């Protein structure tokens, strides 16, 4: 099961990961985001239910979705068979992490002026990103601000917690992404005992959403070879 990032949705997760996983014969489960303030606990409950039904899970996500998947894996190491973490944004408490600050500012703008005003602030972003945000933010509807705040304030696993997680893990990064620094992805990959780092760029992601999925899945395959 793979989870989307802050303010994103299952449509983007499928665009990134569905075909790379299908090439391995792995079906993708990507449920839509729980609404508003239920975002994190709702997703964790879905992971619990899936594990109860199917047993061991391959879990992961993008940005905040990667944080939640790793949080669940840390709490359920016996039920996690592997981790696919694309664009992790921080370790432990977010502090001044760029992704946390951006989500907080966006939440304030949405709450005060509406989704349309927040989307207008993305005018300088690449066209593909504006289109993704336009779809996803409107799908979140009235719960967008609350879900952004949940993501902005929630701790990710610490380096020490990641170091105690024995499952194979593929970590994906865009080396030109200032919101999800490659330094953080490298810290995740360095802390996890069986992990590898896969790299792409935002430029490549804009032209081909699967580039991030391929980088993360290929890193996972390398991690599988580690003892």
Let me know: does 8 contact 66? Beta carbons within 8 Å: no
Flag whether the pTM goes above 0.85. yes
Give the range of the structural domain holding residue 91, as residue numbers without chain letter: 2-224
Please tell me the distance from the alpha carbon of residue 147 to that of residue 40, in angstroms, as a whole number.
8
Handedness of CA 11, 17, 23, 27 (dihedral sign): negative
* Residue 171, phi then psi, degrees to nearest 5: -110, 125
Given 3-state DSSP classes, what are the helix, strand and coil percentages for the chain, each rounded to the nearest 5? 60, 10, 30
Tally of structural domains, the chain: 1
User: What are the distances in angstroms from CA 100 to CA 10, 75, 88, 153?
Assistant: 20, 23, 11, 7
Q: Spell out the per-residue pLDDT of the chain, length 227, in tens.
A: 999 999 999 999 999 999 999 999 999 999 999 999 999 999 999 999 999 999 999 999 999 999 999 999 999 999 999 999 999 999 999 999 999 999 999 999 999 999 999 999 999 899 999 999 999 999 999 999 999 999 999 999 999 999 999 999 999 999 999 999 999 999 999 999 999 999 999 999 999 999 999 999 999 999 999 87
Q: Are 107 and 39 in contact (CB under 8 A)?
A: no
Q: Provide the CATH number for the domain around residue 28.
A: 3.40.50.1820
Other Cβ atoms within 10 Å of 98 Cβ, number:
16
Q: Which residues of 126-159 are buried (b: 16+ CB within 10 A; e: fewer)?
A: eeeeeebbeebbebbeebbbbbbbbbbebebbee
The strand pair at 169-174 and 80-86 is best described as parallel
């Amino acid at each position: 099961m793979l989870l989307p990032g802050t303010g994103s949705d299952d449509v983007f997760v499928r665009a990134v990961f569905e075909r790379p996983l299908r090439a391995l014969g792995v079906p993708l489960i990507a449920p839509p985001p729980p609404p508003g303030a239920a975002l994190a606990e709702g997703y964790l409950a879905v992971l619990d239910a899936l594990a109860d039904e199917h047993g061991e899970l391959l879990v992961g996500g993008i940005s905040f979705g990667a944080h939640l998947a790793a949080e669940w894996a840390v709490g359920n190491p016996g039920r996690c068979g592997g981790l696919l973490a694309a664009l992790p944004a921080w370790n432990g408490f977010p502090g001044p992490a760029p992704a946390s600050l951006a989500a907080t500012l966006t939440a304030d703008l949405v709450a005060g002026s509406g989704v349309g005003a927040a989307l207008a602030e993305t005018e300088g972003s690449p066209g593909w990103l504006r289109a993704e945000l336009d779809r996803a933010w409107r799908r979140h509807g009235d719960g967008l601000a609350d879900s952004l705040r949940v993501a902005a304030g929630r701790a990710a696993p610490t380096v020490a917690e990641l170091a105690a997680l024995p499952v194979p893990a593929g970590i994906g990064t865009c080396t030109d992404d200032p919101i999800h620094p490659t330094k953080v992805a490298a810290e995740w990959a360095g802390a996890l005992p069986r992990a590898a780092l896969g790299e792409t760029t935002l430029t490549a992601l804009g032209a081909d959403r699967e580039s991030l999925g391929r980088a993360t899945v290929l890193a996972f395959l390398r991690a599988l070879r580690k003892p």
